[in-house]
Amino acid sequence: MTLIFAHRGSAGTHPENTLEAFYEADKVGADGIELDVQLTKDGEVIVIHDETVDRTTNGKGFVKDLTLKEVQKLDASYKNKKLFRKPKIPLLREVFAWLKTNNLYCNIELKNNIIDYPGLEEKVVEIIREFEMEHRIIISSFNHYSIVHCYQLEPRIEIAPLFSSTIYMPWVYARSLRAKSIHPNIRAVTDEIIKVAEHNGVAVRPYTINKESLMKRLFQVNCSAFFTDYPEKAIKIRSQL
Ligand code: G3P
Ligand code: CA
């Protein structure tokens, strides 16, 4: 069965990367969530997509220049201001505390392909170990050196390279990294690439699948999973097939 991962939570209906968006993913029956992490000035692992807080909050500035205390004062309601009462940027730990109450998978994307956050890999792996979540987590990144670093720190945690352009035989590349899966932009993979990768034991989880036609296509090729901003819609379509 093709699993459905709620991208940045249920980002199409709720403020992305907030607990509210993750709760919604669970409520509608998603199999997993995806989230993005960056490091604050004082070295805390927080859940936010961009390198700055400008787009998704009422604040301004780079995450790396703000302390946790400063970040926690921000309203992360983004464009859903009227519907949600001041959601916060969560710590990774806060999301994990909630994940311990359910069985959702969690894909952590390390957002260290633009800004290098020294120590991010160690901190994330330490939190995963503390919560004993090694078998429910997939660590991905566009920074492939970083995911290999994570694998070296903790080989029990699955790693997956993210890529946005087509690469030759991505299942061979994945194996060279010790990755059990790949997370391509949907435009970077054909049905044939998906099938051959899966046949070679490499799970394929494309992003970001919001159109019904694409969802149906991936269910039909029996792709391992995909990321969507609309998990409720994806689950409905899957149940009708
Ligand atoms: O993990 C897939 C996807 O989240 C990567 O792109 O920009 O949404 O973080 P982005
Ligand atoms: Ca992401």
pLDDT digits (tens, 9 = 90+) for 125-139: 999 999 999 999 999
How remote is the CA of residue 8 from the centroid of ligand 2, in Å?
Answer: 6
CB 150 within 8 A of CB 157: yes
d(CA 92, CA 127): 8
Domain assignment present for residue 221? The answer is yes
Domain assignment present for residue 129? The answer is yes
Question: For residue 28, what are the contacts with CB-CB under 8 A and spacing of at least 6?
Answer: 10, 231, 232, 235
Q: How confident is the model at residue 82 (pLDDT cuts 50, 70, 90)?
A: low
Ligand 1 atom having least distance to the Cα of 207: 2
Domain assignment present for residue 72? The answer is no
Instruction: Write down the pLDDT at residue 81.
Output: 63
pLDDT digits (tens, 9 = 90+) for 179-229: 999 999 999 999 999 999 999 999 999 999 999 999 999 999 999 999 999
Question: For residue 66, what are the contacts with CB-CB under 8 A and spacing of at least 6?
Answer: 40, 41, 53, 59
74, pLDDT greater than 70: yes
Instruction: Write down the pLDDT at residue 99.
Output: 98
Q: Which string of b and e fits 43-63 if b means at least 16 CB within 10 Å? A: ebbbbbbbbbbeebbebeeeb
- To test ligand 1's pocket by mutation, which of 33, 207, 210, 224 has the most ligand atoms within 8 angstroms of CB? 207
Domain assignment present for residue 191? The answer is yes
Cis omega (within 30 of 0) for bond into 57: no
Q: Does ligand 1 have an atom closer than 6 angstroms to the CB of 162? A: yes
State the alpha helices, DSSP H only, in the chain: 19-28, 68-72, 92-99, 120-130, 144-153, 170-177, 191-199, 212-220, 231-240
Total of domains in the chain: 1
CB 133 within 8 A of CB 106: yes
Q: Does ligand 1 have an atom closer than 6 angstroms to the CB of 111? A: no
Among 3-7, 84-88, 168-172, whose mean pLDDT is lowest? 84-88
* 84: amino acid identity, one letter: F
Read off the CATH number of the domain in which 168 is found.
3.20.20.190
Instruction: Write down the pLDDT at residue 23.
Output: 97
Domain with 109, as residue range(s), is 3-52+91-240
d(CA 142, CA 134): 21
Task: Please name the helix (run of DSSP H) or strand (run of DSSP E) that holds residue 159, with its range, or none.
Answer: strand 158-163
Confirm whether 144 is a catalytic residue.
Answer: no
d(CA 43, CA 118): 9
Average pLDDT value over all residues in the chain? 96
Instruction: Write down the pLDDT at residue 86.
Output: 84
Domain assignment present for residue 61? The answer is no
Protein residue with its CA nearest to atom 6 in ligand 1: 207
pLDDT digits (tens, 9 = 90+) for 145-177: 999 999 999 999 999 999 999 999 999 999 999
Instruction: Write down the pLDDT at residue 33.
Output: 98
- In the chain, the largest separation of any two C-alpha atoms, in whole Å, equals 48
79, pLDDT greater than 70: no
Ligand 1 atom having least distance to the Cα of 7: 4
Q: Is this structure's pTM higher than 0.95?
A: yes
d(CA 129, CA 119): 16
Instruction: Write down the pLDDT at residue 85.
Output: 75
Domain assignment present for residue 71? The answer is no
Ligand 1 atom having least distance to the Cα of 8: 4
Q: Does ligand 1 have an atom closer than 6 angstroms to the CB of 151? A: no
Short-list 34, 45, 36, CA closest to 119: 45
Domain assignment present for residue 229? The answer is yes
- To test ligand 1's pocket by mutation, which of 7, 8, 230 has the most ligand atoms within 8 angstroms of CB? 7
pLDDT digits (tens, 9 = 90+) for 22-54: 999 999 999 999 999 999 999 999 999 999 999
